[in-house]
Every structure is written in structure tokens, then in C-alpha cells.
Amino acid sequence: MRILQLISTIGYYGAESVVSGLSRELHAQNHSTVVCTLTRVEKHSDVITEKATRWGIPAFDIACLGRADWHALRTLRRLIRDQEITLIHSHNYKSNLYAYLATYRGKLPLVATCHNWTRSTKSLRMYAALDHFLLRGFDRVVAVSDLVAENLRHSRLPADRISVIPNGIEVRDFEAVPAALHPKEDDQIAIGAVCRLTPEKGVPDLLFVAKALMDRHPRVRLVIAGDGPDRHQFETLAGELGIAAKVKFLGFQSDMPAIYASMDIFVLPSWNEGMPMSVLEAMAAAKPIVASRVGAIPKLVSNEAGILIEPGDRNALQTALEKLIADKDLRLAMGKAGRQSVAATFGIQKMTEAYLQVYKAVLPQRFAGASQPSSANLSCSGTK
């Protein structure tokens, strides 16, 4: 079995973290693994391929000039043949499309993971509809939460082709990490968020609440890691609220354990989620959680590990954060409980074993050996 992990990426977010963690653990367990990213020239990100190369995993980057790049598709087909891939595991809209087209009418098994569908714009709703259609041609579709699985069933995907596998994390990566990247004064309280900067993540709600908190608690600071199309709009809003000096928009960060280590409280007031890796990472870093009761978050965050609110409820968000600001012992207790919960339930080994069972189930259904053509013209970050 030689597995290709395929993802379209312009940064490093939840799905990218899953691809990296899964690939790393498969490789550690001596399962043959290859990583390939589809990237846009103007928003190129090589974080996944750099990590894979460091771990000794063959890693490739294919540049895509648009939504449908036939040269990129031909390159992907050659990669599949040259690397003798026996199964493709794709992770989002675009990679699902390219995986489907690269193996159309072939016998190569296809597995996709649905992390969530964002329907905040007309174009994103169109992509979600196309993805629903394409996934009917996959051998197995993995949902990261029960809610995502329910959406898949509503899209008329057969129930026997849907599996639910929660995201997993390597807890050890977040233990005993210094917060040297963004030090703060001893009396300050750092509230942190890690997310893609789009409206559905609840960033405007967080900024308005931060304004109210900072008026009452001058030692509070807000740190937001991540990038996205609405970053400038959110930075402008922070300025209009008069809190720009106390809010740091860090943009993309590669050393996430150090970012979490610099926080006292983690917050994610999203309106829509699947199973956010940032919550798992913050819990692994022993941070108390304040988050919306959406997606799989209620299954991740118990009352002992954090406080859940309804999406859009700014009063509840402020009350929850003030409770934690005022009680350091509660923050520490929730952080400890969260780390214990993640280690016991959402470890990377457990997630990897569940994916291996899916791979082994679909391989006999459509397995066929791959032929070997001439070498492809690829950007390779690793060796076979």
C-alpha cells in the first residue's frame, strides 16, 4: 500500500495540520506515504512539504494556475504513476476534484476527508455543491464530526461509504514549549485566537468584546494568529474601536506550539465549524477554552476544560472571558483537564489507526497495480 496525501493549500490551517500529522504517523509506522500539495503561485505555501521532507517523506508541490489547470492535472497523473500510488486520500474541494479527474474511470481507490463546508459566499456554496456531487465517485468519505457526516447523508451519499473519524493531534508537540516568540509583561492576560480570518470565525464579535474587556481590564491583550481574505477589514475594525495597540494580528505562524504557549486563554467564537484543530491544539497546550457551541466543539470541550457559548452571543462571550480573566486557578485547572482529555481521546495514533482501517477496507474493492511511465517534471521536496 502506497498512499498519496493530496491537498490544495494556501496556508497552514486545520486540514493542513491533519495531513501533516497523519502523514508523519503513517511514516513512523512504516506505511509507505507520499505528500502532494496543489498551490497557487500568488499564495504559495510550502509548510507541508517542508515538514514532510524533514520527516523523510517524499513530498511534491504542483503549481495550479486556476481552478482547472490541465497541465497540473497531467503532472498529478504522472506523479501517481511514477510514485506507484495505490490509494489517494484527498482533503478539500480542489484536491477532491483533481483526485477524481486524475483517476477517472480508473481503478485506483479514492478516500476523501470532509473537514467542513464553508457556505458564506455564493462561490463557496457552488464549490460545496460540486464537492457533494464528486464525492459520490469516492470509495469512502470520512467526516471529522457527526454533523459533517449528517450533511454528507443529506447530499445523498450512501451511508455505507461514510465514516466518522475525529481529528487527532500529537500532544507531545505542545508540552513544555517556551513562549519566547511573543513575550508579555507579567501582569498582562493574553487572550488568543487561531483561525482563518473570515467572518464565520466570529472575529468581529471577538473584537467588539475585546474592546469592552480592555475598558474594564487594561492588562488584557488580544493575539490573533492566522491569515485570510478579511484580515485588513478586521485590522481596520480594531483601529476604529481604538484597541489596535492592544491587538496583535500575527498572520501565518509556523511555530504554533510557541504561539499557544504565549496565551493565557484560547477563544474561538465561530459561527460555523467542523472539528477545529486549533481547539485540540490549544487543549494540548493546556489552555482553557472559550468557544461557540457549533460543529464538534461540544464533544471536544467539557465543562471541566472550558466554557461554551452560543454563536454570536457577545454578552456570553464577554462573561466567559471575564470569568477566566479573574481566576488564574480556574484557568490552570481547565487547561490541565483539557490536555488530559485530548491525550486520552484525540491522540494522533488513534486517528491514524482509524484511517488505516478505512484504507484496508477500500483497497480490495478497486485495487490495481500502477504502471511506470517516464519520469515527471515535478518540483520534488524529498526522495522516493
| Per-residue pLDDT tens over the stretch 261-308 | 999 999 999 999 988 999 999 999 999 999 999 989 999 999 999 999
Residues 19 and 72 in one domain: yes
**Lowest model confidence (mean pLDDT) among 139-148, 170-179, 309-318:** 170-179
| Per-residue pLDDT tens over the stretch 208-253 | 999 999 999 999 999 999 998 899 999 999 999 999 999 999 998 8
Residues 321 and 180 in one domain: yes
**326 CB neighbour count, 10 Å cutoff:** 11
Residues 263 and 118 in one domain: no
Sign of the Cα pseudo-torsion (105, 374, 74, 35, in order) = positive
Residues 71 and 200 in one domain: no
In a 3-state reduction of DSSP, which class is residue 180? coil
Q: For residue 373, what pLDDT is reported?
A: 35
List the domain range (segments joined by +) for residue 244: 172-345
Which CATH number is 104's domain given? 3.40.50.2000
Residues 54 and 114 in one domain: yes
Q: For residue 41, what pLDDT is reported?
A: 67
Tell me the pLDDT band of 357, cut-offs 50, 70 and 90.
very high
Q: Can you read off the three cell numbers belonging to residue 252?
A: 501565518
Residues 164 and 178 in one domain: no
Residues 201 and 186 in one domain: yes
Q: Mean pLDDT in the chain?
A: 88
Q: For residue 9, what pLDDT is reported?
A: 87
Residues 93 and 71 in one domain: yes
Q: pLDDT above 90 covers what percent of the chain?
A: 68
DSSP string, 300-313: H--TTTEEEE-TT-
Average pLDDT over residues 331-346: 95
Q: For residue 371, what pLDDT is reported?
A: 40
Tell me the pLDDT band of 179, cut-offs 50, 70 and 90.
low
Residues 244 and 231 in one domain: yes
For residues 329 and 13, the model is more confident at: 329
